Amino acid sequence: MTKIEIDEFLKLSEKHPVIDVRSPVEFEKGHIPNAINIPLFTNSEREQIGKKYKESGNEKATLLGLEMVGPKLTVYINKLKKVTKQKKVLLHCWRGGKRSESMAWLFSQVGYEILVLDGGYKRFRNFVLSSFCRKAKIIVLGGMTGSRKSEILRKIEEKGHQILDLELLANHKGSAFGSIGKEEQPTVEYFENLLFEKWQKFDFSKPIWFEDESATIGKARIPNELYKQMRNSPVLKISVPIEKRIDKLIEEYADFDKKIILSSILKIEKRLGGLNTKRAIEALEKNDFYTLVNLVLNYYDKAYNFGLSQRNTDTMFSLKLIDEKIEKNVEIVLDFAKEKMYL
């Protein structure tokens, strides 16, 4: 067994499998992206050992742990053989202590070269959060709901520019309707880990495009240091005729179950107001999605404008987009950024 620092660990993880030996509940809360969970203890076993440690001390807890893992040694080895054919494996637990050392010893007995992360997953998490302090040349693409910002960002990426698609990683579109059509969101911790996976690969001498977001995207939360950078970065605010925005949102949401849409309307009932909520529900029942979307946009536009009012107007740039072709609009956005910003 060899212990290695986080930088080397992450570099080697691009070529070699990462084995996380923490309990399933720890792994589910957050883990290194693409890591494989081979837990030394089940959730129940971990709880029992923790209880024994508090009641009787380290020696009794250790003995209980040995009783639990003894019959399962071949199970751990077979699991490792099943998930990888490589003989060089990266491994970690929470702090880089007994669990990782025990599994590293076991795997080394059957011919595996084991590299253990010094400081464990806790060290990884500290590294993740500190990485967002790194200064970046961020361009924030802003605009009202329905302006097709996400589509424009993806096209910008196709043209060779760097983007960080926060909504894609959060599995949410950011509004009360943002979970519609999406699978379950990652935990806050795992969202941060996914962000880091993208963040560490950027060329920081070049700009990185972001979509304008609130601090939270559904239940995901943008790390504080990164969000501060976003708030202090120049904003390119695109404006699109409201009719085009309404058409886009109808196309995006109208085919979903009405019960799901109703649930989303009720999430913003207080902010929408009683009368407008009633009108929105009536429009939904009549399949009058134009009226429904228009009512909801009225609320979101006010909220977005308030958010913009809190920004530095000296670093805010406005750009009208009237062309219906997304490719043409992307060219306009990039040309504008090249002329007015640090693209």
93 among known catalytic residues: yes
Catalytic residue of the set 36, 40, 91, 93: 93
Residues 121/99, Cβ–Cβ less than 8 Å: no
4: alpha, beta or left? (left if phi > 0; alpha if psi -120 to 50)? beta
Q: How many CB atoms lie within 10 A of CB 247?
A: 16
CA dist 283 and 295 (Å) reads: 10
Q: What DSSP designation does 34 have?
A: T
Q: What is the largest CA-CA distance in the chain?
A: 73
Residues 114/104, Cβ–Cβ less than 8 Å: yes
Continuous segment of H or E residues that includes residue 252: helix 242-253
Is beta strand 113-117 parallel, antiparallel or unpaired with respect to 2-4?
parallel
Active site residues: 93
